[in-house]
Amino acid sequence: MKLNIFRLTFAFPLLMSLLNLSCQKDTPAPPPLYTDVQYAEIAGARIAWQSAGSGEPLLLCTGFATNMDMWSTGVVEALSQQYKVIVFDYRGMGYSTNNDTSFSISTLADDAAALLDALQIDKAHVLGWSMGGYVAQMMAVRHPEKVSKLILYATNCGDTLTVNPSQEIVDILSNPSSTPMQFLSTLFPDDWMTAHTEPWNFLPEGKEPENGEAIGMQYGAIQQWLSPDGGSAGHLQQLSMPVLLICGSDDKVVPAINSTILSDSIPTATLISVAGTGHGLMYQQPEVFASYLLSFLTP
């Protein structure tokens, strides 16, 4: 069952497309949050990135099958008041290009480090969500000198230690015939969904192009991560930078116990489980989520 969760390779982009249609509004466009899209040439790829705010750099690594435009707008607005928030598209995703036929999570971690080099940034805080948490972990393992503080949001350590979602959630995510509301129900707790009948309004408008081939390569990288002897499990003890683990208490996609497993393996870790929230914690409670991050990041 562990590997089936990522059969949403095709379902998730479909969900995003349907949500984008629902999110179109007639109200005037707000001032731009980010700089224009810019590009960094690295080995085998051209990485698209944007930034918001100023201050110490904070690099955001997004989740599976998503692009940089899917970060919570409210969270980025709050973080950019004190930090230079940098978002980017993984190789082959969104506006980025890719010359490889396959890659691993370590490849994506090396890409993130190379992006910092291209931007002439020696060191940054790093936040990773879900699969982005895999990337952030391996960046901290492979390039510890580049990571000031590490934030792991709704993620796991891979290998056979990962605790799987329920069969009900696997069935929804692995079935392309599942409805948009069913897909959305995996991001949020049931009682929250009952109280919010238009949950798509809490998500940003994703406007970047989708690349099924690149998503398939991410799928392959995730299989390696979740396989025996995969993931970060054997490397976490060596992390010495401050680490914040944050998750929703009712996360259906990556059960919260996975953050506890990570916490038990990282000597410098602090764990926060936010009651009544799910995998989409940053969409549900952006102010609360951002406040925890700012409290951790502030010296």
Report the pLDDT value the prediction gives residue 9, as an integer from 0 to 100: 42
Phi/psi at 247 (5° precision): -155, 165
Q: DSSP label at 285?
A: -
Is residue 21 very low, low, confident or very high in pLDDT (cuts 50, 70, 90)? very low
For the chain, give the percent of residues with pLDDT over 70: 90
Residue 8 pLDDT greater than 50, yes or no: no
Helix (H) and strand (E) counts in the chain: 11, 9
Choice between 97 and 176, residue whose per-residue pLDDT is larger:
97
Buried/exposed code over 63-88 (b: 16+ C-beta within 10 A; e: otherwise): bbbbbbbbbbbbbbbbbbeebbbbbb
Q: Is 185 within 8 Å of 170 (Cβ atoms)?
A: no
Average of per-residue pLDDT across 159-181: 90
Neighbours of 25 (CB within 10 A): 9
Q: Which domains does the chain have, with CATH numbers?
A: 3-297 (3.40.50.1820)
Q: DSSP label at 244?
A: E
What does DSSP say about strands 56-61 and 124-129: parallel, antiparallel, or unpaired?
Answer: parallel
Burial of 119 (0-12, 13-18, 19+ CB in 10 A): middle
Buried/exposed code over 166-191 (b: 16+ C-beta within 10 A; e: otherwise): eeebbebbbeeebebebbbbbbbbee
Is residue 256 very low, low, confident or very high in pLDDT (cuts 50, 70, 90)? very high
Q: How far is CA 125 from the centre of its chain?
A: 15
Is residue 31 very low, low, confident or very high in pLDDT (cuts 50, 70, 90)? confident
Tell me which residue has tokens 């990135």: 49
Residue 44 pLDDT greater than 70, yes or no: yes
Average of per-residue pLDDT across 27-36: 80
